[in-house]
Structure 1
Amino acid sequence: MESLDKEQTKELIAMWEKTACYLCRFQTTHWNEFSFEQHLDVNAYQNSLLTRAHDLQNRPAPPAFRQADHLLSVVRTATCRGLTVFDKTNDLSICLSSGAILVALAAYVSRADNDGIQVVVRELDNVLAQVNA
């Protein structure tokens, strides 16, 4: 098991913060289309991502993974792919699904759960298939 180094940790923090910003921008752009519950959901997604980033920054020891470099590459790719959804479609359900999946990805990374990360990446593939269809 290898712990994430400082640069890898900073990269993860930046990814979660960027994802929260994408969600905020999407929410403000589509404000009138959201139901009250969807606003609450997106606010919770943003809060969760920023909390994960804060916790990772202040954690005494970063999470440890088998093949940390490979895992970070998988997370980086999944996050970038998940964020492209917001640029490719205005479909609320698809964008909210992508946001929820990225929140789950952050949660699994913070728990160092390799299996959970793989499941979430497959779920993201399913959402992206809807966008590309």
Structure 2
Amino acid sequence: MPRPKKHHNLKVVQGTARPDRDGPPLVDLPLVSDVPAPPDWLPNAHAIKEWNRLAPILHANKLLTEAGISTLGQLCALHGKIVQLYAAGEAPVASMVAQLRGFSNDFGLTPVAQGKVRPNGNPEKPDNPFAAIGKPPAQKR
């Protein structure tokens, strides 16, 4: 069984990154300009409440794209259905819980997934505090 690929950021830190080994470029999907209203097909109030909770968070972190709106809707609809089952004293089937967990991971909403999801768009590049390490100090003229 082949070893899993090391994340590019780890290669950069370790000094083993090579441009000829970079993977294909990531797709840059268009971000939504404003927080969208919940779709009218959401099945219940719990789903709408979850949409109103998650959509602003994802939008603020540049994780909500035009292509991801329907997936967010599915996540919220599934969340609403699971809450209804719990409220009725029933337990959801394991596949529903697993699917909800998968949707949550896709948006980086679990602690483990937060490190794997990168914001979309072109954020301003912060200054690199390590850029001057190893460079000779600038000489005054």
Task: Report the TM range for the smaller structure's normalisation.
Answer: 0.3 to 0.5
- TM-score under structure 1 length normalisation: 0.32
TM-score by length of 2: 0.31
